[in-house]
């Protein structure tokens, strides 16, 4: 049976269509921190309940939500989801793999850590192989698919908490403010203090701050 997404079905339309085709449960996966030049990349995967009483209202791409809204939805996702998993890819591993491979690797690891095996997987942006089930990479998936939006929130909140904790370990960089992204504030501290252990040396702005050429 084909999975037909009905127009106007809302954020859960893809999960419902796949369920009608016998592909359930559906997992969504997304990452946070791919574009940062410091800190880990975090990927998360979620399987949401098909029961309407456990649907989560207000789900959106994490980047379109306020920090307070993300935190509130994060707690609701943990309370109502069938399964949630996340993984952290260290800055050193991001450097070793390159950002695209690190992204795919993180998404795969997050899905494989789910306590409930999915029958189908929707990943944000890029397709991911090696999952053992069918799947699709969906552009802007975190804006149109509930389980992917939920994964984006889990990944973002988890990574933000990690970066806030680094504030005490690496004073002066203000990681709690910019979260390791390449902002003017971050660059000012990077140029003044040089890179620390959680900076990604593949990034040109980080290499410039060390005056060390990478192969």
Report the CATH number that the domain containing residue 152 is assigned in CATH. Answer: 3.30.420.10
DSSP string, 81-127: -SEEEEEEE-HHHHHHH-HHHHHHHHHHHHHHT-SS--SEEEEESS-
Whether 62 has a pLDDT exceeding 50, the answer reads yes
The answer to whether position 176 is within a domain reads no
Strand partners, 31: 43
Give the count of domains, the chain.
Answer: 1
Least confident of 14-18, 104-108, 169-173, 199-203: 14-18
Tell me the percentage of the chain whose pLDDT exceeds 90. Answer: 79
Can you tell me the distance from the alpha carbon of 73 to that of 56, in angstroms, rounded to the nearest whole number?
8
Q: So what's the pLDDT on residue 206?
A: 95
The pLDDT of residue 1:
46
Q: Inform me whether the pLDDT recorded for 6 exceeds 60.
A: no
Q: How far is CA 52 from CA 79, 174, 209, in A?
A: 14, 42, 52
State the pTM of this model: 0.92
Range of the domain at 48: 13-166
Contact 16, 7 (CB under 8 A): no
* pLDDT at site 59: 87
What are the tens digits of pLDDT across the range 91-150?
A: 999 999 999 999 999 999 999 999 999 999 999 998 999 999 999 999 988 899 999 999
Which residue has better confidence, 144 or 159?
Answer: 159
> In the predicted model, what is the mean pLDDT of residues 194-202?
96
Residue 212 has pLDDT above 60, yes or no: no
The answer to whether position 133 is within a domain reads: yes
């Amino acid at each position: 049976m084909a999975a037909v997404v009905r127009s106007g079905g809302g954020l859960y339309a893809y999960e419902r269509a796949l369920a009608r085709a016998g592909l359930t449960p559906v997992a969504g996966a997304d990452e946070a921190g791919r574009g940062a030049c410091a800190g880990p990349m975090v990927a998360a995967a979620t399987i949401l309940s098909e029961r309407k009483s456990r649907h989560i209202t207000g789900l959106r791409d994490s980047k379109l939500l306020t920090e307070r809204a993300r935190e509130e939805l994060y707690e609701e996702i943990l309370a109502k989801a069938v399964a949630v998993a996340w993984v952290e890819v260290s800055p050193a591993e991001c450097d070793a793999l390159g950002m695209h491979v690190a992204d795919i690797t993180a998404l795969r690891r997050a899905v494989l850590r789910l306590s409930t095996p999915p029958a189908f997987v929707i990943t944000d942006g890029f397709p991911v192989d090696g999952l053992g089930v069918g799947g699709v990479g969906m552009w802007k998936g975190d804006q149109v698919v509930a389980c992917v939006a939920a994964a984006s929130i889990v990944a973002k909140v988890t990574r933000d908490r990690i970066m806030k904790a680094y504030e005490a370990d690496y004073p002066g960089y203000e990681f709690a403010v910019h979260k390791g992204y390449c902002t003017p504030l971050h660059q000012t501290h990077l140029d003044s203090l040089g890179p620390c252990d959680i900076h990604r040396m593949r990034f040109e702005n980080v290499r410039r701050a060390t005056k060390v050429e990478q192969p």
